[in-house]
């Protein structure tokens, strides 16, 4: 069924139950259903073609979700982007994709009978932009079944239900946050959508939230003012075990997961025991002879169809239904945990050795005073590259270089140890909240004065 049909069902059963809370307004399920129907009628009246992608870049997150659900109900494919993009930026992002218009303001309401759309599981029902730490975002499209049929499995892992208040503290242009918001509505819960990280107003948003769906680096701020929180759902990057332990001490359960915009859910860790296949997912780690790492391949009902417009990207598939985006992991056997080591194309070649940045970052995150860290390769005339660490301090000042080097010596091989150390007040991040590795490298290469070398 269209995701909008879930909303209509909840509206019939609990019309006065709060569906959406945003920075400017709130909507009950009854009001949301009425708004979505009226907006869908407007789209159909003005040529919103069934099956065509419709670009959505609306500033107000509540109005944006109304537009997403209305496009869905009208039988078109919502493609959610950033409201700050002008039409020239949209044209660059979309490339060769033919879209049926751009919605950049709240849709008007048109009165009339309820809109009915008989949906098929194979309909192309959702498109969003990848938010990787490198490269230009690409529009990823998926079928209805790959989008909505995973909802009950996430419900089972997290316990999210109609009585929950789910805080979604990030932009809906991120596939992670868009999925979180739509999933909350499909579950009949209240979705709290500030549109971006609420910063100083975080305590007010957390006051009644029972669940928060976020990227891991935001977890410490949440744990400082947990309110009524019982569950954290974390994805988009590796979760520091220290924060899972801190959450447990506060009586908060953490469900972390690994996936990609192109692959959707691949593995989840619901108890701190490590990543295991998400329901319905098969995993292979394909290792070349003599290699200690291999590429992660997945086969599941949740895989995307590919990139809109035939754009090039990291997604590859074989003839047996397996797909990969190039992430790497230790060898894996069914029944074991998946031990990820990041994206293969981010590996650093230094003096004939291959260094995976995530291996180095995992060790250095244990240093007191390190909030987050990015490891990249810096050009070197004889070694090719040297391992370079850029850290974000957890407090007023970064830890001393001597301490960082001592931890590196105790936990890393010689080739893995950073030779250059830098600190920044805050790392640049992607829309999904991941450290923007490529942007950090560009800023360092341009001698950005905001990046201070540690001596």
Check which CATH number belongs to the domain holding 412 and give it.
Answer: 3.30.300.30
Number of domains in the chain: 2
**Does some domain include residue 127?**
yes
Domain span at residue 352 reads: 347-453
What is the pTM assigned to this prediction?
A: 0.81
Residues 252 and 351 in one domain: no
Confidence grade of residue 391 (pLDDT, cut at 50, 70, 90): very high
pLDDT of residue 151: 95
234 with 358, same domain: the answer is no
Task: Establish if 391 belongs to a structural domain.
Answer: yes
- Within-domain flag for 287: no
- Say if residue 209 is in the same domain as residue 106: yes
Q: Would the pLDDT of 411 be above 50?
A: yes
Do 20 and 135 lie in a common domain?
Answer: yes
Domain end position, chosen among 256, 271, 303: 256
Is 262 inside a domain boundary?
A: no
Q: Are residues 102 and 235 in the same domain?
A: yes
* Least confident among 43-47, 66-70, 344-348: 344-348
**412 against 109, higher pLDDT:** 109
Q: Which of residues 219, 235, 256 is at a domain's end?
A: 256
SS (H, E, C) the chain: CCHHHHHHHHHHHCCCCEEEECCCCEEEHHHHHHHHHHHHHHHHHCCCCCCCEEEECCCCHHHHHHHHHHHHHCCCEEEECCCCCCHHHHHHHHCCCCCCCEECCCCCCCCCCCCCCCCCCCCEEEEEECCCCCCCCCEEEEEHHHHHCCHHHHHHHHCCCCCCEEECCCCCCCHHHHHHHHHHHHCCCEEECCCCCCHHHHHHHHCCCCEEEECHHHHHHHHHCCCCCCEEEECCCCCCHHHHHHHHHCCCEEEEEEEECCCEEEEEECCCCCEEECCCCEEEEEECCCCCCEEEEEECCCCCCEEHHHCCCCCEECCCCCEECCEEECCCCCCCCECEEEEHHHCEEECCEEECHHHHHHHHCCCCCEEEEEEEEEEECCCEEEEEEEEEECCCCCCCHHHHHHHHHHHCCHHHCCCEEEEECCCCECCCCCECHHHHHHHHHCCCCCCEECC
pLDDT of residue 136: 55
* Same domain, residue pair 53 and 170: yes
Give 219-254 pLDDT, tens digit per residue.
Answer: 999 999 899 999 999 998 788 888 999 999 999 999
Residue 297 lies in a domain: no
239 and 104 housed in the same domain: yes
pLDDT, one tens digit per residue, over 344-369 is 667 787 866 668 788 889 899 999 99
**pLDDT tens digit sequence for 287-305:** 988 778 899 999 999 999 9
**With left for phi above 0 and alpha for psi between -120 and 50, is residue 442 left, alpha or beta?**
alpha
pLDDT reading at 332 higher than 60: yes
pLDDT at position 56: 94
Indicate whether 246 and 114 sit together in one domain. Answer: yes
Task: Tell me what the mean pLDDT of segment 323-331 comes to.
Answer: 91
> What is the structure's pLDDT at 199?
80
Q: Are residues 250 and 352 in the same domain?
A: no
Q: Kindly report the CATH number assigned to the domain that includes residue 221.
A: 3.40.50.12780
Instruction: Name the residue with higher pLDDT: 213 or 173.
Output: 213
* Whether the predicted pLDDT of 1 surpasses 50: no
Q: Which residues pair with 256 in a beta bridge?
A: 234, 269
Give the pLDDT confidence score for residue 219 in this predicted structure: 92
Residue 331 has pLDDT above 90, yes or no: yes
Average pLDDT on 300-314 reads 85
330 lies in a domain?
no
In a domain, 268, yes or no: no
Pair (183, 42) in one structural domain: yes
Among 197, 225, 256, identify where a domain stops: 256
Mean pLDDT of 23-42: 96
Query: Average pLDDT over the chain, rounded to whole?
Result: 89
Position 312 in a domain:
no
Per residue in 83-114, pLDDT tens?
A: 888 877 787 777 656 777 889 999 999 999 99
Amino acid 86: pLDDT: 81
């Amino acid at each position: 069924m269209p995701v909008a049909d879930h909303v209509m069902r909840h509206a019939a059963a609990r019309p006065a139950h709060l569906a959406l809370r945003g920075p400017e307004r709130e909507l009950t399920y009854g009001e949301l259903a009425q708004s979505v129907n009226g907006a869908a009628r407007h789209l159909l009246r003005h040529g919103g073609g069934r099956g065509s992608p419709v670009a959505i870049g609306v500033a107000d997150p509540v109005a944006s979700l109304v537009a997403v659900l209305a496009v869905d109900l009208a039988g078109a494919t919502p493609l959610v982007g950033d409201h700050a993009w002008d039409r020239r930026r949209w044209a660059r992002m979309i490339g060769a994709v033919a879209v049926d218009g751009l919605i950049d303001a709240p849709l008007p309401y048109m009165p009339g009978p309820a809109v009915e759309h008989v949906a098929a599981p194979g309909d192309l029902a959702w498109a969003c932009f990848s938010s990787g730490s490198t490269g230009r975002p690409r529009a990823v499209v998926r079928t209805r079944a790959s989008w909505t049929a995973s909802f009950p499995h996430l419900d089972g892992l997290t316990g999210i239900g109609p009585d929950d208040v789910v805080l979604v503290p990030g932009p809906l242009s991120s596939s992670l946050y868009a999925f979180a918001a739509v999933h909350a509505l499909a579950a009949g819960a209240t979705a709290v959508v500030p549109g971006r990280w609420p910063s100083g107003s975080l305590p007010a948003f957390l006051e009644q939230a029972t669940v928060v769906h976020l990227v891991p680096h935001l977890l410490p701020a949440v744990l400082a003012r947990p309110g009524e929180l019982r569950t954290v759902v974390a994805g988009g990057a590796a979760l520091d075990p220290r924060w899972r332990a801190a959450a447990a001490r506060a009586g908060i359960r953490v469900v972390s997961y690994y996936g990609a915009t192109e692959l959707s859910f691949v593995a989840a860790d619901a108890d701190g025991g490590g990543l295991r296949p998400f329901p319905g997912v098969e995993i292979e780690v394909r290792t070349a002879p003599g290699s200690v790492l291999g590429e992660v391949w997945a086969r599941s009902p949740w895989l995307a169809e590919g990139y809109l417009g035939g754009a090039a990207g990291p997604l590859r598939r074989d003839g047996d239904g397996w797909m990969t985006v190039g992430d790497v992991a230790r060898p894996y056997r069914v029944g074991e945990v998946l031990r990820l080591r990041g994206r293969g194309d981010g590996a650093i070649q230094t003096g004939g050795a291959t260094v995976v940045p995530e291996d180095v970052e995992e060790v250095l995150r244990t240093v007191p005073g390190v909030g987050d860290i990015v490891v990249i390769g810096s050009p070197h005339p004889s070694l090719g590259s040297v391992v370079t660490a850029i850290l974000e301090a957890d407090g007023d000042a970064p830890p001393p270089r001597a301490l960082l080097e001592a931890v590196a010596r105790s936990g890393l091989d010689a080739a893995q140890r950073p030779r250059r150390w830098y600190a920044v007040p805050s790392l640049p991040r992607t829309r999904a909240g991941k450290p923007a590795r490529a942007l950090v490298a560009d800023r360092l290469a341009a001698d950005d004065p905001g990046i201070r070398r540690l001596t």
